[in-house]
Chain A
Amino acid sequence: MGKFSRLGNDLYNGKRSIDFIGRRWTWYAVSGVLLLVSLLGLGVKGLDMGIEFVGGAEYKVSLPADEATQETADEVRDAVAATGIDAAQQPVVTTSGDSGLIVQVKPVTTGESKRIKDTIVETTGVDPGEISVQEIGPSWGQEIAKRSAIGLAVFLVLVVLFIWAYFREWKMSVAAIVALLHDILITIGVYALSGFEVTPATVTGLLTILGFSLYDTVVVFDKVRENTRNLAESRTTYAKAANLAVNQTLVRSINTSIVALIPVGAILYVGAVQLGASTLKDLALALFVGMAVGAYSSIFIATPLVVQLKANETYVQQAEKRDRARLKALAADPYATVPVFTDDMPVREDDAEAEGDLEEGAPVSQPPAPAQQRSADAANRGRIAPQARGPVKESRSAGRQQPSRQSKSKREKK
């Protein structure tokens, strides 16, 4: 954990940095491939909608009294699922009173219906005449679907407005929504590709992902905004500040993802390994993929997108210009910012390789302060400015009004 913590510190002060913003096209490409695969899966395989959405057939079995127990129901469920009929892969079997069983499957052909009936007869030993078949409609009706869609649309509009109002930046709303769609599409794609049945539980799972994705994006954006708040006064560019923000929240993102994914992973494992086909597994898969993608997209998609969207703004461009000028000046006089000797300066060079040689816990010398924190004006002037404890505001004012007169040669001739 020590290494990881030190990494956290390095990421925090920018000593070590992963270039999330600069390599954005790589991430876009990765996401593009994932999206393409998802869409292909959706187009080719389609979604396997459950009984709740498409309706199906219902078999009512009248058993002798007291024979309709949960065990019988479980046996029948396994037997019907084992017939290999597509529509009957996940039958819903419930007891009804103490002498009835209800078996629900998706729409089946007459032949398949006969096979299911035979299976029920074999399993329960009931007379075929005691089974009645009825057609059932979907319980997830048009009305519910319509109202949920309306709710979702209203929510998305409001969340755009909320992010806009909170960050004072509509471009962040756009990026958050793009990341959200990215997450949802990939999750749906996973469903299509894995062939899991879509049930109302799946819809719940998708909504959870929707919430998590936005939540995570807002947390990352909050740091981006904090870092870029006084861009005009800081010696950095929007892209650099945003990249630092992402690096600074990286440890938090990793931790959150681990903590959020561990329980879901446990459910997925138990659901898939112990139970086989189950609601639990479907739900856990959607959540696992969705939350992982949600954490990914906040960092790799949403933030670079914001940077890209804001690249045309005047103050961002001005910061870029200042930064370029600074780099140029540095190239012209690389020694301008070399620190002068101070008392607690390390005796030897402290490079990255040397770090590994020390045993853990040994005091490690560090340069007193990043050299760029010192005003360039103070260098080599004899006076050693005290070590800055925080960022020093650049100012050329001497604390009093400076003459605004033009030089004589430039003054208007009288």
Chain B
Amino acid sequence: MARKTARPGRTLVIFFLLIAVSYGLVAIAGTWKPALGLDLKGGTRITLIAEGNPSSENLQEAADIIDQRVNGSGVTEAEVSTQGNRFIIVEIPGDTSNSLIDTVKRQAQLRFRTVACTSSNPGPCATSAPTPGDPTASDTAQPGVGVTVPPSPTAEPSESPSAKNRPGFALADDKKKPKKRTNAAAQTTESPSASPSDSPSASPSASPSESPSGSPADGDGKASPAAEALAFISNPPQEAIDAYNAYTCPSETPPVDDPTTWLVTCGAQDDAATKYLLSPAAIEGTDLKSADAGIPQGEVQWVVNLSLGGDGKDVFTDLSTSMAGSEQRFAIVLDGLVISAPTFEGRISDGNARISGNFTSSSAKSLATSLKFGALPISFEKDGTSVDQIGASLAGDQLSAGITAGIIGLLLVMLYCLLYYRGLGLVVIASLIVAAAITYSVVLLLGETAGFTLTLPGIAGLIVAVGITADSFIVYFERIRDEMRDGKSMRVAVEAGWRRARNTCLAADAVSLLAAVVLYIFAAGVVKGFAFALGISTLIDLAVFFWFTHPSVALLGRYRFFNRGHKLSGLSAETLGVDRINTVGGTA
């Protein structure tokens, strides 16, 4: 350490080049005005109406989850509140896109089930016509219609199920030998209280546990969700088959997704015409550890990567072990609709799953965000969502007043620095201007990439940061003066003072950075946004201090004006309060 800045000029040039690069990026992004927050510019107000009559706790919980979804990075400063007992209001700065609205209102109830029959591959349900002409799909599951169940589950019909764009299920590693893990304790049902008001597939009394006649996998698999799910697809109960045959796709409303029983439903979006009979939920969305969107290496399509933890991971391993290589498929069910129904290509033991399909960048990110923060305890009316543009919540004069005040304040600060530090005051002013320039470019870039918006408190915070930034210089200059009072020459004092001031500033800024990092990780909402801004301004402070202020002072130290202690340099004997300053060398 203690590398002497032998070439302060070069440091300065590199630093200015970096600033120029940041402004080049801004120019590429093409916005020269920062995005303003809700209070200054307004934004979009999304009103969601809950279905049914949720309890106030559920509504509040839903609002909290939505808050995390829209405020995941903490810099957007969106506001989420409940209204009455059925409404949730989401206010987001700026314009909004459809995918954002989807992110907000998606219930994100994720479950993994196995597929017994689909319309493209009827499997055990193949006896009757795939699409009977009964569109109402309610309470037709009467026993005794006389459908015979094919006894052999593995005797799949010859047609291949993977006709569509359904890429196989990607697996991360199967290096471990396929030792069968029987997890008797796997109990994934958390009962997310889906209100069973208008279930299209009636008779949920079909307890799935009474059907495992020919359990293919485990010995003690009675309680294992994996074994249950596997048993179901090989031998689905008659009433499930009846319900399946009576159901038509595409249907108007998705069925209610009850994890404890089987489900007849349709595919999502492009796949809406495909009908599925699914086993009881094998894995619950609560076992999801993380979700993120990305493009896998060597592919072009966006996917959503899921990482399962807890019991879900074990069940997933069991399922993949039994089903790998066969034509059996499992389904990822989101809010009652099958969003993906791939086959296993191999055993997956690390719980990494992947949803592929026709995702775009925004839809994949939207889904990942919705999944990441958990499922909402309530669902929303499909047509009840209203989206309005709202205006600024603060009067228009507040922004101009704030900026005026900031400019006045800055001018006063500069005046004070000039009066007190004279020549060195110029360095302070230049440093502050450089810091302001960097801050502005960072705000612009973050507004473009991370949705960072400036609110009035944010602007005030930036103005306050001026004081903290200026403190580094003050500490440094006072150190230089102290060293010169000890009899060192200016050039020696610049380096000696630098070494001491640097340590002081590093320690003090470390505290600020600590605050920023910890609060950013733990806190939510406004506090998270504050932490972000604090971290940025501290880093800018350090950058300016190290790469601008110090080289500048070192450079100025070469001029007689400063190192001979000219009256206006701020380092004269008079301003230091000593008799004469040492000009030839120091005792450092």
Q: Is A356 an interface residue (CB 8 A)?
A: no
Q: Is B173 an interface residue (CB 8 A)?
A: no
Q: How many pairs of residues, A versus B, come closer than 8 Å at their CB atoms?
A: 308
Assess whether B87 is in contact with A5, with CB atoms less than 8 Å apart: no
Interface residues of B in 510-549 (CB under 8 A from A): 510-512, 514-515, 518-519, 521-527, 529-531, 534
A365 / chain B contacts, CB cutoff of 8 Å: 579
Task: Jot down 8 A-B pairs with beta carbons below 8 A, ordered by A.
Answer: A136-B89, A162-B510, A203-B527, A252-B475, A255-B420, A260-B471, A283-B456, A291-B464
Q: Is B111 an interface residue (CB 8 A)?
A: no
Assess whether B79 is in contact with A139, with CB atoms less than 8 Å apart: yes
Q: Is B258 an interface residue (CB 8 A)?
A: no
B45 / chain A contacts, CB cutoff of 8 Å: 96, 102
Interface residues of B in 530-588 (CB under 8 A from A): 530-531, 534, 574-580, 587
Q: Is A345 an interface residue (CB 8 A)?
A: no
A251 / chain B contacts, CB cutoff of 8 Å: 478
- CB within 8 A of B398: which of A205, A211, A275? A275
Assess whether A96 is in contact with B388, with CB atoms less than 8 Å apart: yes
B574 / chain A contacts, CB cutoff of 8 Å: 2, 5, 360-361
Q: Is A207 an interface residue (CB 8 A)?
A: yes
- Chain A residues with CB under 8 Å of chain B are 1-2, 4-10, 12-13, 52, 55, 58, 68-70, 73-74, 77, 92-97, 100, 102, 134-144, 147-148, 150-152, 154-155, 158-159, 162-163, 166, 200-201, 203-205, 207-208, 210-212, 214-216, 218-219, 222-223, 226, 248-249, 251-252, 255-256, 258-267, 269-271, 274-275, 278-280, 283-284, 287, 291, 360-361, 363-366, 389-390
Give the distance in Å from the alpha carbon of A74 to the alpha carbon of B397 in the complex: 10
One digit per residue, 1 when the CB lies within 8 angstroms of any chain A CB and 0 when it does not, for chain B 395-434 equals 1111001101110111011001101100000000000000
Assess whether B515 is in contact with A95, with CB atoms less than 8 Å apart: no
Assess whether B478 is in contact with A252, with CB atoms less than 8 Å apart: yes
Asked, given contacts A9-B576, A154-B518, A218-B507, whether A134 binds B87 with beta carbons under 8 Å apart, the answer is: yes
Assess whether A256 is in contact with B467, with CB atoms less than 8 Å apart: yes
Q: Which of B262-270, B441-449, B481-489 contacts A (4 or more CB under 8 A)?
A: B481-489
Assess whether B89 is in contact with A96, with CB atoms less than 8 Å apart: no
- CB within 8 A of B83: which of A134, A214, A280? A134
Interface residues of B in 50-81 (CB under 8 A from A): 59-60, 63-64, 67, 79-81
Give chain A nearest CB distance to B496 CB in angstroms. Answer: 13
B510 / chain A contacts, CB cutoff of 8 Å: 162, 166
B39 / chain A contacts, CB cutoff of 8 Å: 279
Q: Is B457 an interface residue (CB 8 A)?
A: yes
Q: Is B450 an interface residue (CB 8 A)?
A: no
- CB within 8 A of A77: which of B395, B478, B529? B395
A4 nearest in chain B by CB position: B420
Give chain B nearest CB distance to A333 CB in angstroms. Answer: 30
Give the distance in Å from the alpha carbon of A10 to the alpha carbon of B270 in the complex: 82
Assess whether A264 is in contact with B575, with CB atoms less than 8 Å apart: no
Give chain B nearest CB distance to A50 CB in angstroms. Answer: 12
B521 nearest in chain A by CB position: A151
Give chain A nearest CB distance to B1 CB in angstroms. Answer: 16
Assess whether A1 is in contact with B420, with CB atoms less than 8 Å apart: yes
A133 nearest in chain B by CB position: B84
B505 nearest in chain A by CB position: A219
Assess whether B417 is in contact with A275, with CB atoms less than 8 Å apart: no
Assess whether A210 is in contact with B515, with CB atoms less than 8 Å apart: yes
Assess whether B404 is in contact with A207, with CB atoms less than 8 Å apart: no
Assess whether B524 is in contact with A215, with CB atoms less than 8 Å apart: no
Interface centre among B84, B455, B526 (most CB of A within 10 A): B526
Assess whether B485 is in contact with A13, with CB atoms less than 8 Å apart: yes
Asked, given contacts A143-B64, A159-B511, A219-B471, whether A287 binds B464 with beta carbons under 8 Å apart, the answer is: yes
Q: Is B297 an interface residue (CB 8 A)?
A: no
Assess whether A74 is in contact with B395, with CB atoms less than 8 Å apart: yes
Q: Is B184 an interface residue (CB 8 A)?
A: no
**Beyond the given A201-B460, A203-B526, could you list 10 further A-B residue pairs with CB under 8 A, ordered by the A residue number?**
A9-B578, A92-B393, A95-B390, A100-B388, A152-B523, A218-B511, A262-B413, A264-B464, A267-B463, A279-B394
Give chain B nearest CB distance to A31 CB in angstroms. Answer: 22
Give the distance in Å from the alpha carbon of A200 to the alpha carbon of B457 in the complex: 9
Give the distance in Å from the alpha carbon of A81 to the alpha carbon of B158 in the complex: 75
Give the distance in Å from the alpha carbon of A378 to the alpha carbon of B35 in the complex: 72
Give the distance in Å from the alpha carbon of A93 to the alpha carbon of B519 in the complex: 31
B83 / chain A contacts, CB cutoff of 8 Å: 58, 134-137
Give the distance in Å from the alpha carbon of A305 to the alpha carbon of B209 in the complex: 69
Give the distance in Å from the alpha carbon of A69 to the alpha carbon of B389 in the complex: 12
B80 / chain A contacts, CB cutoff of 8 Å: 139, 141
Give the distance in Å from the alpha carbon of A141 to the alpha carbon of B90 in the complex: 13
B527 / chain A contacts, CB cutoff of 8 Å: 144, 147-148, 151, 203-204, 207
Assess whether B63 is in contact with A141, with CB atoms less than 8 Å apart: yes
9 nearest A-B pairs in the assembled complex, by CB-CB distance: A260-B467, A9-B577, A263-B409, A151-B522, A95-B391, A137-B82, A266-B409, A270-B405, A139-B81
Asked, given contacts A9-B485, A275-B398, whether A155 binds B526 with beta carbons under 8 Å apart, the answer is: no
B409 / chain A contacts, CB cutoff of 8 Å: 262-267
- CB within 8 A of A70: which of B391, B508, B531? B391
Give the distance in Å from the alpha carbon of A364 to the alpha carbon of B578 in the complex: 9
- CB within 8 A of B81: which of A100, A138, A271, A360? A138
A69 nearest in chain B by CB position: B391
Q: Is B435 an interface residue (CB 8 A)?
A: no
B45 nearest in chain A by CB position: A96
- CB within 8 A of A141: which of B67, B395, B474, B578? B67
B474 / chain A contacts, CB cutoff of 8 Å: 252, 255-256, 259
Give the distance in Å from the alpha carbon of A162 to the alpha carbon of B510 in the complex: 9
Asked, given contacts A94-B391, A204-B461, A266-B405, whether A259 binds B396 with beta carbons under 8 Å apart, the answer is: no
B223 / chain A contacts, CB cutoff of 8 Å: none
Give chain B nearest CB distance to A53 CB in angstroms. Answer: 11
Give chain A nearest CB distance to B461 CB in angstroms. Answer: 6
A265 / chain B contacts, CB cutoff of 8 Å: 409
Assess whether B467 is in contact with A261, with CB atoms less than 8 Å apart: yes
Assess whether A259 is in contact with B514, with CB atoms less than 8 Å apart: no
B398 / chain A contacts, CB cutoff of 8 Å: 275, 278-280
B575 / chain A contacts, CB cutoff of 8 Å: 1-2, 5
Give the distance in Å from the alpha carbon of A203 to the alpha carbon of B45 in the complex: 24
Assess whether A148 is in contact with B523, with CB atoms less than 8 Å apart: yes
B358 / chain A contacts, CB cutoff of 8 Å: none
Give the distance in Å from the alpha carbon of A105 to the alpha carbon of B250 in the complex: 46
- CB within 8 A of B519: which of A1, A68, A152, A361? A152
Assess whether A284 is in contact with B460, with CB atoms less than 8 Å apart: yes
Q: Is B165 an interface residue (CB 8 A)?
A: no
Q: Is B25 an interface residue (CB 8 A)?
A: no
Q: Is B392 an interface residue (CB 8 A)?
A: yes
Assess whether B457 is in contact with A222, with CB atoms less than 8 Å apart: no
A215 / chain B contacts, CB cutoff of 8 Å: 468, 471, 508-509, 511-512
Give chain A nearest CB distance to B435 CB in angstroms. Answer: 13
Give chain A nearest CB distance to B581 CB in angstroms. Answer: 12
- CB within 8 A of B408: which of A13, A218, A270? A270
Assess whether B508 is in contact with A201, with CB atoms less than 8 Å apart: no
Give the distance in Å from the alpha carbon of A283 to the alpha carbon of B500 in the complex: 34
Give the distance in Å from the alpha carbon of A303 to the alpha carbon of B449 in the complex: 44
- CB within 8 A of A95: which of B42, B402, B519, B580? B42
Give the distance in Å from the alpha carbon of A361 to the alpha carbon of B567 in the complex: 10
Q: Is B466 an interface residue (CB 8 A)?
A: yes
Give the distance in Å from the alpha carbon of A216 to the alpha carbon of B471 in the complex: 9
Assess whether B81 is in contact with A155, with CB atoms less than 8 Å apart: no
B530 / chain A contacts, CB cutoff of 8 Å: 203-204, 207-208
Q: Is B303 an interface residue (CB 8 A)?
A: no
Give chain B nearest CB distance to A114 CB in angstroms. Answer: 19
B463 / chain A contacts, CB cutoff of 8 Å: 263-264, 267
Give the distance in Å from the alpha carbon of A280 to the alpha carbon of B82 in the complex: 26
